[in-house]
Amino acid sequence: MHIQFSLFGSVRLVLSLQAYKTVSDVAITKLAPTSPIRIGLALKFSVFYYEIFEQP
């Protein structure tokens, strides 16, 4: 399935990806690997990649 984005959608996509990467970096350095917040973030980031970029 090929997804087409409008310019506004593309900007939101890039901003979302940047936000996930920034928060993931903070979580890796500040939270324990077993932290429920860190685990939840990793799960949501993986779902974002799977659904938006169609990448496992």
Per-residue model confidence as pLDDT tens digits over 11-45 = 888 889 999 999 999 999 999 999 999 999 999 99
Cβ atoms of 23 and 2 closer than 8 Å: no
pTM of the model: 0.74
For residue 54, the 8-state DSSP code is -
| 2 located within any domain | no
Residues 6+ apart with CB under 8 A from 32: 38
| 47 located within any domain | yes
Tell me what pLDDT residue 3 has.
52
| 3 located within any domain | no
Element counts in the chain: helices (H) and strands (E): 2, 0
Dist CA 9 CA 45 (whole Å): 18
What SS3 state is found at 38? helix
Domain count, the chain: 1
Look up the domain containing 16 and give its range.
Answer: 8-54
| 35 located within any domain | yes
